[in-house]
Structure 1
Amino acid sequence: MQTIQANVTASISELKKSPAQVIKQAGDEVVAILSHNVPSAYLVPSAVYEGMVEMMEDYKLIKEVKTALNSKEKPIKVKFDEL
């Protein structure tokens, strides 16, 4: 059985019938859209999505920094004002 990764759920039929109502009832919460009681999609508020994108960008940057720190290349010293 698949885990539902949201506190709010709605069926595809509910979403088709009244998408604005589903969004309004969810408030700032992610909505799991269910098809036959199985999540088929997630409706994510824009603020949550923007936060997720920012976290993914931060994660990618952290990986790049770790790779650079673990490389054998000699770092180049620069002053902050030179950047």
Structure 2
Amino acid sequence: MNPLLADTSTSISELKKNPMAVIEGGDGFPVAVLNRNKPVFYCVPAEAYEAIIEKLEDMELAAIIAERENDKEVEVRLSDL
């Protein structure tokens, strides 16, 4: 059984009828779209999607920082750049 990772859900039929009403029904949060009572995809408002992408980028940068934390420092003069 697939876990439902949203507080709001709808059917594909309802999504077809009025997609914007489905998004608005999520109040800014993702809406699970179900087919035969199983989630098949999530409708994510643009603002929420952008926040997710930003968080993923931050996590990626944090991993790079942690990986390079003990690297040897290299001195660079501004004029060399």
Provide the C-alpha distance between the structure 1 equivalents of 2:52 and 2:64, rounded to a whole number of angstroms.
19
Question: Residue type matched to 1:47 in 2?
Answer: E
The Cα shift of 1:39 comes to: 0.3
Q: Could you tell me the TM-score, scaled by structure 2's length?
A: 0.85
In the TM superposition, structure 1's runs of 4+ consecutive aligned residues that sit over 3 Å from their partners are none
The Cα shift of 1:29 comes to: 1.8
Provide the C-alpha distance between the structure 1 equivalents of 2:5 and 2:67, rounded to a whole number of angstroms.
32
Give runs of aligned pairs for residues 6-17 of structure 1, distance below 5 A. 6-17=6-17
Answer yes or no: is 1:30 the counterpart of 2:61: no
Alignment: residue pair count: 79
Percent identity, aligned pairs only, is 38
Q: Could you tell me the TM-score, scaled by structure 1's length?
A: 0.83
The Cα shift of 1:77 comes to: 5.0
Provide the aligned C-alpha RMSD in A: 1.8
Provide the C-alpha distance between the structure 2 equivalents of 1:39 and 1:29, rounded to a whole number of angstroms.
15
Provide the C-alpha distance between the structure 1 equivalents of 2:26 and 2:63, rounded to a whole number of angstroms.
34
Provide the C-alpha distance between the structure 1 equivalents of 2:44 and 2:51, rounded to a whole number of angstroms.
11
- Structure 1, unmatched stretches of 5+, are none
Counterpart secondary structure, 1:29: coil
- Structure 2, unmatched stretches of 5+, are none
| 1:5-28 CA-partner distances (Å, limit 9, x unpaired) | 000000001001111211222221
